[in-house]
Chains A and B, each alone.
Chain A
Amino acid sequence: MDLINNLALGFSTALTFANLAYAFAGVLIGTLIGVLPGIGPIATLAMLLPTTYALEPTSALIMLAGIYYGAQYGGSTTAILVNLPGESSSVVTCIDGYQMARRGRAGSALAIAALGSFFAGTVGTLVLAALALPMVELAFKFGPAEYFSLMVLGLIGAVVLASGSLIKAIAMIVLGLLLGLVGTDVNSGVARFNFDVPELADGIGFVTVAMGVFGFAEIIANLEHKGKRQVFTDKVGRLLPSREEFKYAVPAVLRGTALGSVLGVLPGGGALLAAFAAYTVEKKITRNPDPPFGQGNIRGVAAPESANNAGAQTSFIPMLTLGIPPNAVMALMVGAMTIHNIQPGPQVMTSNPSLFWGLIASMWIGNLMLVILNLPLIGIWVQLLKVPYRLLYPAILVFCCIGVYSINNNTFDVSMTAAFGVLGYLFFKLRCEPAPLILGFILGPMMEENLRRAMLLSRGDPTVFFTRPLSLTLLLMAAALVVIVLLPQINKTREQAFQEGD
């Protein structure tokens, strides 16, 4: 069978000593940074991206995937122990996880989160491997018009699922698209919006934007919030969940995994949506929960944690097969691939099969490492939470600055990152969610290129987007999304759902 052969190729790539070491390093460093309160996977990835430049592409991507899972899992640890979500997708875990910690059951909450994530990760990896081939075949039917429409759908999807104001999220995407266009235009060779600064002729660095808007802005925002945090460090308790807890958790994990795997594939989907949806479902279907949700019910940890990991896994599908990132984290992965001169898209699987399948296999290995690494090391992560922030952030800044400099050996990039830090802080103050900006930034040049090609092929006739059936379907889906969200009833529920998260 093809799938088995492909996975065998993947495992033979991923199981080399070097790649195992990089996966391990990624998971370890990712957890290390992800545990720090207030630093989510996006900021972690942006910070650590430069450390992978020196590696060969396969190892670099394997390590980045490891960093992503590690950061995601580290975020849950912080959520449970400090009631401070490291990232939006562990907001839900905070609700019941922290209450469990207060009851002295932090150990079982952490263990269930780890085991549930591992199970979900395994399923997610299998779904990814199984769907990869048919998706790539579909992708080869795509022309420039279809790609353009698909990107429209992806961007609309991302907006619909972003929290907060719809119109502001759309504006952030458009701003991201425009910032992505800065630099030399490939078709005409004209350097656009560069103010005659030679460094800008190559465009704004992707790490520069991500690190400034996410990393630096987050540090400054954290410095504003003073209040002492209460960490439940002394009573993590027994790690092994009780039989009763297992009985409740297992079905919740199964439901969360199924939901997460589906939602992760959708444009704009991924970990956040999956976690929210899984928690809502658990709340709806559980009769007479004891203890009630919000007061430390194990299902409230098991379901969203499994769902966000399954979603994290399956959100690699559109990125790897179509080259279209469904969310900001995947946009970072696309950025990383481009830096290594791999053009993301359906051709990656055929032209670089060992990278493609090796990455998929290493995801499963990474998930396994998470369990092995995190359960015994939980004590160390807890100690890390005790390090005062005033010592942490200068250290984070040092690694960020050296990282940005090392991309092009260029000090201009460092100052540029500071400028994006100002912009990121402004976004934070004006409640403009920055994730859509990053997505737009990555898609900007791709969208322009496909628009140009489609219009050239149709000799300037814009109806081409509506006359080609695949393209029309994609655009209709995008329109349907907008209509659904604008329906007053849905809009209300959506606002409520995100408010619960705040």
Chain B
Amino acid sequence: MKINDAKDFWSGVMFAAFGLFFVVFSQRYDMGSAARMGPAFFPTMLGGLLLLLGIVTMFKGLTTKSAASKVDRFHFRPLLLVLGAVVAFGLLLRPGGLLVALAALVFISSLGSDEFRLRDVLLLTIGLAVLVLIVFIYALDMTVPVLPAFLRT
């Protein structure tokens, strides 16, 4: 079998997988009756619908007559670095404090761009740190550790 519209086909696979997941997972809960619906009723209905829509989309991707279309290349570098930076921020915030987490976020995410310049990133980090301290810590009085755990009193 030949895939004609790869975007449609893989979208279909994604939807079908999500649908199947919700249908199967819902069965852990009580279905109830039509008059007294349990927690499983609505998700099972919707999951089934999504599974069906996914399968139809997959078939559309296989049978469509339009010119073959491919899924654009995935750019894993910006994806991993930008989202990795976000995760690093989350992990570092409590133990490392706001300043460390912010520096990590700015540095790692900046690597995702093709034009990384160390001097600019350093200046950006300092500028953002000052701005964040003024806005979030002093003005909005946010409760978040600023310094790393070992420096806190």
A positions within 8 Å CB-CB of B: 51, 54, 165, 167-168, 170-171, 174-175, 177-178, 181, 185, 187-188, 190, 192-193, 216, 219-220, 223-224, 226, 388-391, 393-395, 397-398, 400-402, 405-406, 409, 411-415, 417-418, 421-422, 425-426, 429-432, 447-448, 451-452, 455-456, 458-462
B positions within 8 Å CB-CB of A: 7-8, 10-11, 14-15, 18-19, 22, 25-26, 29-30, 33-39, 42-43, 46-47, 49-50, 53-54, 56-57, 60, 71-72, 74-75, 78-79, 82-87, 89-91, 93-94, 98, 101-102, 105-106, 109-110, 112-117, 120-121, 124, 128, 132, 136, 140, 142-144
In the complex, 25 of the A-B residue pairs with CB atoms within 8 angstroms, ordered by the A residue number, are: A54-B140, A168-B57, A175-B50, A181-B42, A188-B38, A220-B75, A224-B75, A390-B113, A391-B120, A393-B82, A393-B109, A402-B98, A406-B136, A409-B143, A414-B90, A415-B90, A421-B83, A426-B14, A429-B7, A429-B72, A430-B10, A452-B37, A452-B42, A460-B33, A460-B36
A411-B94, A460-B35 given; A175·B43 CB < 8 A: no
B90 / chain A contacts, CB cutoff of 8 Å: 401, 405, 411-415, 418
B78 nearest in chain A by CB position = A223
A470 to B67, CA, bound (A): 45
Partner of B75, one of A168, A223, A405: A223
If over half of A's interface residues share one DSSP class (helix, strand or loop), that class is named, otherwise mixed; here it is helix
A413 / chain B contacts, CB cutoff of 8 Å: 90
Partner of B105, one of A177, A192, A394, A455: A394
Q: Is the CB of A430 within 8 A of B14?
A: yes
A401 to B136, CA, bound (A): 12
A387 to B14, CA, bound (A): 38
Q: Is the CB of B7 within 8 A of A395?
A: no
Q: How far is the CB of A334 from chain B (nearest CB, A)?
A: 19
Q: How far is the CB of B136 from chain A (nearest CB, A)?
A: 6
B34 nearest in chain A by CB position = A460
Partner of B132, one of A192, A402, A412, A462: A402
Q: Is the CB of A405 within 8 A of B144?
A: yes
